[in-house]
Structure 1
Amino acid sequence: MTITRRQWLFFSLVMLIMACDFCLIHLPYRTSTDLETVDFGVAMDFMLVIPFVYYMVLVRKNQRHWTSVIYVSFFFGHALLWFLHSPGLRLLIYPVDLLFVIVEIRLLMRLFRVGSTYRQMRHSSDVPGIEVFESALTVHLGSNPFFRYIATDLTLIYYSLFSWGRKAYSPSGTKVFSYHTTSNAWIILIVMSKVLLLEGFATHILVQHWSHFAAWVLTASNIYLWLFLLGDYRAMKLNPLILSDSALRVRYGLRFKLTIPMTDIAAVTETSNVRLTRKERRETLMYESNVHIALNHPVLARGPFGLQKSVTGLYIHLDQPGNFVRCVSNLKDQANPEDRQ
């Protein structure tokens, strides 16, 4: 998954605005009036300018729902509390809080309908419950980036904490191909567990001498990343590749997911030590490759946090690449017997 140019543009503009405001705040001022004027300007940047940039760069162009602007304003408005020197200006955040509460009440009312939709979809589908829940969220909450972020968090919490004891998804009448046994994902999880949990504790002790807030932010980030790695490995184990007569279902951990119709698969080959050009990297997904799936047409792959990428091929790692290549080739030969003549 890749971050789009507009997302990079938004993040760059936000960092530029915050850097300028940080410098302004720390300049020496002779009177309290000057300081209050600077604080007011910084408050306008955080509560109006940054949300406006978000709307113009990401919301308006991509036709997203305007309510996400309220979340951006709420987040940066409360981040502003760490910069302001004038307590009176903190009252400016109250209108944003009121809008946030109204939006949350509206969201809560829509969430009540997610449960009934989930139960209806669960009875008519044999896919894993967490995917049905994601579909129910999409029905009622749409493709808003904030809701996509929530869906990703719920998914990683499910796989990291509540998926233990579950069996791998294996619908009847299909062939399944695992990819976690010989992958290095388990080794990465063990190594990163040591770095994030053990060394992260030592880092917390060190950083808290400078800032307690920064220390807890760093520790929370380490725990979140560890849960993501654990959830990714559990998702890899519970979601093998599923090959049916009509499609190939790919759920590669928490990294990406897509369903490829058999008619869109051009070729499947075993690979090793693959080096891609810059153009090929933009058009493909690659993870520990020992199998290459070439596509006839671009297929949309969905990643975490609402990220999307149109791909023309996949480079993935499977436990039994030879068996997978033979099965896909046999299905394509059965569907197109004239190709063998």
Structure 2
Amino acid sequence: MLSLSKNKWFWFSFLLALVISSNFLIYRLESLGPLPTGIALGSLFDFVITIPLLVYLFIIRKRYSLKYILPVMIAGYGAAVLIIPHGLLSAYSFVKYILLAGEVAFFLVELYVVFMLFATFPRIIKSYRKNESEIPTFIYRMKQASEQHLKPSRVQDIFFSDMTMFYYSLFSWQKKPMSPDERMYTYHKKTGTITLYVMLIHALVLESIGFHFLLHSWNPIVSIIALVLNVYTLLFFIAEIQAIRHCPIMITDRHLYLQVGIIKQLIVPLENVKSIHYYDGPEKLTKDQERHIFDAVVADFFKEKPTFEVEFYHPIEARFMYGFKKKVTKAHLRLDESQKFYNTLTARINEFDAQ
């Protein structure tokens, strides 16, 4: 997940604002005229090279793939078109064709990945039905089946994130949530998280109806786009409710599975669990502290302190929707049967320590 220090955010915002505002003022202040003939080329360099370079240095480097630079360059060119007078920009129209060619090439590569994904999908479904995972939930079984046939990619992560959302929002209603036992522990029954999401759904539906007719009278295309986004958000809220109900926290013979709705997931080998103890830290964590913690406490009307803090010997990769990841060294938990969970996990840790 994207996590920058306040200092880096300040310098990134400052430099970005400096580049954009200086270029904007050059073409708007009469005292700076007449402008030299090559000024538009300098502005294009700022928007197509300098700004993407800032994004790479402050945001993308060591976090995301270099391929995300291309959309930033295209967005920079779009900003340049809005700021640079057309008469000065027309001499450099070839720049947009270069960027367009790069975007087409990038799109074709992504299209090939999507094609391979759909071509492999029947085999994935077959593996999903055959595999008997130690965790019987849809999310884990589908992840296990997809990894047998596909190499990891961001397109694959986005596809399966959306498929998970559609499954839980539309097709999970006939299944009953798993009953809690010595392996499975619910984490939502003593919270207001389900009520919170129901209220958000209610507000979203009312807002969508009124806002759609208002936008439609102004611009039908914008109203349709807003409606599609609202429907997508509605399905997300429903899927989150169902995934919270159907995906309890689980302890198996070798792993601790932390699945919080459809948003985030952490699989912890029990031999990597250093300790579990009652949490006595601050209610509000700093950004630096949050960066290394997997927060498995569900959303509520008021943020509750976690009951437990589970500490690991080595950092573990937590997974989030759409392929985002981060390394964590601790997990914060709040469960309905906290003491039972504590006893079970402590016993499992002691078993591995004794080996």
TM-score (ref. length: structure 2) = 0.69
> CA–CA distance in 1 between the matches of 2:9 and 2:149?
28
> CA–CA distance in 2 between the matches of 1:137 and 1:20?
47
The equivalent residue for 2:72 is 72
2:298 is equivalent to residue 292 of structure 1? no
112, 121, 124: which one aligns with 1:118: 124
- 1:291-331 per-residue CA deviation (whole Å, 9 max, x = no partner) reads 31422413332233444333333222222223222322343
The equivalent residue for 1:246 is 254
2:327 is equivalent to residue 310 of structure 1? yes
Match of 1:264, as an amino acid?
A: N
**Greater shift after overlay, 88-97 or 265-274?**
265-274
Alignment of 1:21-32 (within 5 A): 23-24=24-25, 27=28
- 1:106-164 per-residue CA deviation (whole Å, 9 max, x = no partner) reads 222233333427357534463655556657489856455x7655654554444444544
In the alignment, is the contact (CA less than 8 A) between 2:256 and 2:268 conserved in 1? yes
Q: 1:250: how far off? A: 0.8
In the alignment, is the contact (CA less than 8 A) between 1:295 and 1:313 conserved in 2? yes
Alignment of 1:98-137 (within 5 A): 98-114=101-117, 115-116=119-120, 118-119=124-125, 122=128, 123-124=130-131, 126=133, 128=137, 130-131=139-140, 136=146
In the alignment, is the contact (CA less than 8 A) between 1:25 and 1:38 conserved in 2? no
The equivalent residue for 2:55 is 54
Q: 1:98: how far off? A: 2.2
> CA–CA distance in 2 between the matches of 1:32 and 1:153?
52
> CA–CA distance in 2 between the matches of 1:76 and 1:157?
34
Flag the 1:84–1:26 CA change in 2: closer, same or farther, 3 A.
closer
**Greater shift after overlay, 122-131 or 294-303?**
122-131
Match of 2:53, as an amino acid?
A: F
Flag the 1:276–1:33 CA change in 2: closer, same or farther, 3 A.
closer
Give the share of equivalent positions with the same residue, in percent. 19
> CA–CA distance in 2 between the matches of 1:75 and 1:147?
24
Alignment of 1:245-284 (within 5 A): 245-269=253-277, 275=283, 278=286, 281-284=290-293
Match of 2:68, as an amino acid?
A: S
2:98 is equivalent to residue 95 of structure 1? yes
Q: 1:49: how far off? A: 2.9
Flag the 1:161–1:152 CA change in 2: closer, same or farther, 3 A.
same
For structure 2, the residue ranges without an aligned partner over 5 or more in a row are 298-303
Match of 2:259, as an amino acid?
A: R
- 1:58-81 per-residue CA deviation (whole Å, 9 max, x = no partner) reads 55x428544332233344445666
The equivalent residue for 1:191 is 199
Alignment of 1:160-175 (within 5 A): 160-166=169-175, 168=177, 175=183
Flag the 1:335–1:70 CA change in 2: closer, same or farther, 3 A.
closer
Question: Secondary structure, in 3 states, of the residue corresponding to 2:3?
Answer: coil
Question: Secondary structure, in 3 states, of the residue corresponding to 1:165?
Answer: coil
In the alignment, is the contact (CA less than 8 A) between 1:243 and 1:249 conserved in 2? yes
> CA–CA distance in 2 between the matches of 1:27 and 1:212?
34
> CA–CA distance in 2 between the matches of 1:100 and 1:266?
47
> CA–CA distance in 2 between the matches of 1:35 and 1:83?
16
The equivalent residue for 2:244 is 236
Alignment of 1:148-159 (within 5 A): 152-159=161-168
In the alignment, is the contact (CA less than 8 A) between 1:271 and 1:290 conserved in 2? yes
Root-mean-square deviation (CA, aligned residues, Å) is 4.8
Flag the 1:158–1:119 CA change in 2: closer, same or farther, 3 A.
closer
Flag the 1:201–1:262 CA change in 2: closer, same or farther, 3 A.
same
> CA–CA distance in 2 between the matches of 1:268 and 1:241?
15
In the alignment, is the contact (CA less than 8 A) between 1:295 and 1:312 conserved in 2? yes
In the alignment, is the contact (CA less than 8 A) between 2:190 and 2:336 conserved in 1? yes
> CA–CA distance in 1 between the matches of 2:255 and 2:19?
48
The equivalent residue for 1:4 is 4
2:329 is equivalent to residue 326 of structure 1? no
In the alignment, is the contact (CA less than 8 A) between 2:16 and 2:54 conserved in 1? no
- 1:241-278 per-residue CA deviation (whole Å, 9 max, x = no partner) reads 12111111111113421111222334445669963664
> CA–CA distance in 1 between the matches of 2:353 and 2:105?
57
Q: 1:231: how far off? A: 3.0
For structure 1, the residue ranges without an aligned partner over 5 or more in a row are none
In the alignment, is the contact (CA less than 8 A) between 1:10 and 1:53 conserved in 2? no
